C-alpha cells in the first residue's frame, strides 16, 4: 500500500519543464535516489526504507507536518485493524462518537477519512444555512455528502453565508482533507472524488494553496473570525477529535466560541434542537472493502443509515 501511495503522490507533482506529472526519473532526481530504487519502492519490493529516504520523499512531495506523520506511519505497512485493539469493535467506537455528537451544544459534525459527512447536529446545519436539497445535490455530484463539495459548489448558499470568511474556511478544510486522505490517495474512490471536486472552479486554486508551507501545518486547530451574513461578526475555533477504529478514522469537529456574542449565537441554535442527523453511511463502503471489519445491519438500522440513503427529514 505504501508503494502505491508514493506512486500516487508522485503523479500529483507537476513537472514544469513539460507540464506533465513527475516520472519515476524525475522523483529520483528530486530525492537523490536511483530510478531503480524508486521503482522498487512503488512496487513494494523495497522492503527496507531508512529514515533519510523517507525524509527525502516527504521533502520532495512538500508534505506538511501532519501529512508527514501519516506518511511515515504508512511506511511501517501496519494497517488500521492491526493498530486498534482487537477487542475494540468499530460499532462501539461509532456509538461513543455518535453519542458525543448528540450532547454537544455548539455546531458540530462528524466526517470519515474522505471528508464525507457521516452526521451533523442541527446547530451546524442552521449556522451554515444548509438544507436537504443541498445534501441531495452533493450526493448526486460527489456520491456522498462531502465537506468540500458543500463548500466549493459555486451556487451553494454557504458561500454567501460565510461571506469574506469563505476562502479561509475552505482553505483550512482543504488542508485537513489532504491529511485525512493521504493514506487513500491510491484508491479508486479518492481518484473519483478528486476528479469530481476538480470540476469546481476554485478547487485547483485551493489545492495548490494548501501545499504552501504555513505556520500551523502541525495543528488541527482552526480559528475563524468573519462577518456572518445572518449573525454578524463571529469568532470561533474548530477543534477536531480523531477516533480510531479498524474501519478507518472518525473526525468529530466542534465549534468553540471565542467571545460571548458568538457563544450566544451557538446557544440559540442549540436550543432549537440538536439531535444529530445521519447523512452518509459509516463505515464508508470503500474503506469497508479495504479493512477487515464487518458493518452489521444492526449498526445501519440503529443509526438510520438505510442502503446509503439519507434519513427522513424529521
Query: pLDDT-derived band of residue 213, with 50, 70 and 90 as boundaries?
Result: low
Fold of 87-302: Beta-Lactamase (3.30.450)
C-alpha cell, 147: 465537506
Quick one: pLDDT at residue 14? 85
The confidence band for 104, taking pLDDT boundaries of 50, 70 and 90, is: very high
Whether the pLDDT of residue 295 is over 60: the answer is no
Nearest to 192 by CA among 202, 201, 181: 181
pLDDT at 308 over 80: no
Confidence (pLDDT) at 61: 94
Average pLDDT over residues 211-229: 77
Between these two residues, 160 and 292, which has the higher pLDDT value?
160
Cell of 34: 536511483
At residue 298's C-alpha, the angle toward residues 297 and 299, to 5°, is: 90
Q: Which CATH class is domain 2-61?
A: mainly alpha
**Which of 9-13, 63-67, 187-191, 272-276 comes out lowest in average pLDDT?**
272-276
Q: Where are the domains of the chain?
A: 2-61, 87-302
In this predicted model, which residue has the larger pLDDT, 259 or 296? Answer: 259
Tens of pLDDT, residue by residue over 176-191, are 999 999 999 999 989 9
35-93 pLDDT, tens per residue?
999 999 999 887 678 899 999 999 999 998 889 988 998 888 766 666 767 777 888 88
pLDDT band at 311 (very low <50, low <70, confident <90, very high): very low
Tell me the mean pLDDT in the region 182-206.
90
- For 248-252, what is the mean pLDDT? 92
Q: How confident is the model at residue 215 (pLDDT cuts 50, 70, 90)?
A: low
**Backbone dihedral region of 129: left (phi > 0), alpha (psi from -120 to 50 degrees) or beta?**
left
Amino acid at each position: 500500500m505504501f508503494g502505491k501511495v508514493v506512486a500516487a503522490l508522485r503523479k500529483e507533482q507537476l513537472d514544469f519543464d513539460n507540464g506533465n506529472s513527475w516520472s519515476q526519473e524525475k522523483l529520483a532526481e528530486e530525492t537523490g535516489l536511483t530510478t531503480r530504487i524508486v521503482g522498487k519502492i512503488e512496487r513494494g519490493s523495497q522492503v527496507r526504507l531508512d529514515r533519510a529516504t523517507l525524509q527525502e520523499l516527504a521533502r520532495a512531495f512538500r508534505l506538511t507536518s501532519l501529512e508527514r506523520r501519516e506518511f511515515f506511519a504508512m511506511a511501517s505497512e501496519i494497517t488500521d485493524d492491526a493498530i486498534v485493539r482487537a477487542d475494540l469493535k468499530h460499532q462501539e467506537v461509532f456509538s461513543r462518537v455518535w453519542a458525543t455528537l448528540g450532547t454537544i451544544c455548539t455546531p458540530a459534525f462528524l466526517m470519515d477519512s474522505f471528508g464525507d459527512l457521516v452526521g451533523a447536529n442541527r446547530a451546524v446545519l442552521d449556522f451554515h444555512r444548509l438544507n436537504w436539497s443541498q445534501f441531495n445535490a452533493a450526493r448526486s455530484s460527489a456520491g456522498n455528502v462531502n465537506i468540500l463539495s458543500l463548500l466549493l459548489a459555486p451556487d451553494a448558499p454557504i458561500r454567501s453565508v460565510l461571506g469574506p470568511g469563505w476562502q479561509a474556511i475552505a482553505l483550512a478544510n482543504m488542508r485537513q482533507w489532504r491529511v485525512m486522505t493521504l493514506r487513500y490517495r491510491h484508491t479508486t474512490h479518492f481518484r473519483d472524488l478528486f476528479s469530481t471536486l476538480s470540476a469546481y472552479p476554485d478547487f485547483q486554486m485551493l489545492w495548490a494553496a494548501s501545499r504552501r508551507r504555513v505556520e500551523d501545518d502541525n495543528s488541527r486547530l482552526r480559528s475563524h473570525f468573519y462577518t456572518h451574513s445572518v449573525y454578524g461578526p463571529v469568532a470561533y475555533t474548530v477543534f477536531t477529535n480523531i477516533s480510531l477504529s479498524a474501519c478507518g478514522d472518525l473526525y468529530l469537529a466542534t465549534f468553540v466560541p471565542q467571545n460571548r456574542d458568538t457563544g450566544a449565537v451557538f446557544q440559540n441554535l442549540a436550543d432549537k434542537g440538536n439531535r444529530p442527523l445521519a447523512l452518509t453511511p459509516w463505515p464508508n463502503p470503500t474503506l469497508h472493502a479495504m479493512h477487515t471489519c464487518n458493518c452489521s445491519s444492526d449498526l445501519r438500522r440503529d443509526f438510520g443509515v438505510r442502503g446509503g440513503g439519507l434519513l427522513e427529514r424529521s
